[in-house]
Amino acid sequence: MTTRRVKGIGELPRDIPPARDLWPAIAEAIQADLAMRVVPDGRRRVGWWPAVGLAASVALVAVGVFIGQGIAPKPDGRLAGNPAPVTDAGMVKASLRQAEYEKQREQLWTDVQNKLNTMAPAEREKVGASLNTLRRSIQEIETALGRDPANALLQELLVSSCQEEMRALTVVRDSGRQEL
């Protein structure tokens, strides 16, 4: 087989594409890295909430109520579809519940982080990617709520997503299984 003739080294092609797509393995490592960044991000979220204002308050009240009832309660249609008026006392209680939730969540993420460190790389990447997907969906709902504070559907979605995240974190912490 004859190939192109060149007069100098500089005429050789610089680009030689790999025989197979190398991106999937890189993407998995990136997803795992993003999942690892979650704990510090979680701390930053505390500072992010005030910017969302009312949307976050309403959502947090809902989350706080649910978290106060346990990690995985059944959705309450009244709260999600027609939120009760938020009083000063209610806000204080909600703040306390929110703080408790954040504390629980942060502890879970720390535990999960430790668990991830003991997993095989492929398993760690898979679990990390799944958790990261959950985290992103929560962030997207929070952003949407910031634009549409009174949207009951978004509030309900946020609550169920937070519950889902807590469930997933608990499963990983307690069993280390890949399935989320």
Examine residue 122 and tell whether it contacts another protein (CB under 8 A).
no
Our CB check for another protein shows the closer of 11 and 88 to be 11
Residues that contact another protein, how many (by CB under 8 A): 30
Distance CA 66, CA 31 (A): 29
Pick the stretch among 17-25, 61-69, 100-108, 172-180 that binds another protein (CB under 8 A).
17-25
Distance CA 174, CA 20 (A): 38
What lies within 8 Å, CB to CB, of 50 at 6+ separation is 56
> Comparing C-alpha atoms, which of 141, 157, 142 is closest to residue 81?
157
Distance CA 146, CA 148 (A): 6
Closest approach, Cβ 41 to another protein, in A, equals 9
Closest approach, Cβ 180 to another protein, in A, equals 19
DSSP 138: H
Distance CA 58, CA 84 (A): 10
Our CB check for another protein shows the closer of 125 and 156 to be 125
CB 145 within 8 A of CB 56: yes
Examine residue 10 and tell whether it contacts another protein (CB under 8 A).
yes
State which of positions 34-93 bind another protein (CB under 8 A): 34, 37
Closest approach, Cβ 159 to another protein, in A, equals 25
Our CB check for another protein shows the closer of 136 and 177 to be 136
Closest approach, Cβ 133 to another protein, in A, equals 12
- How does 152-173 read in b/e, with b if 16+ C-beta sit within 10 Å? bebbbbbbebbbebbebbbbbb
Examine residue 119 and tell whether it contacts another protein (CB under 8 A).
no
Closest approach, Cβ 1 to another protein, in A, equals 7
Map residue 13 onto helix, strand or coil. Answer: coil
Our CB check for another protein shows the closer of 59 and 129 to be 129
Binding site for another protein (CB under 8 A): 1-10, 12-20, 22-23, 25-27, 29-31, 33-34, 37
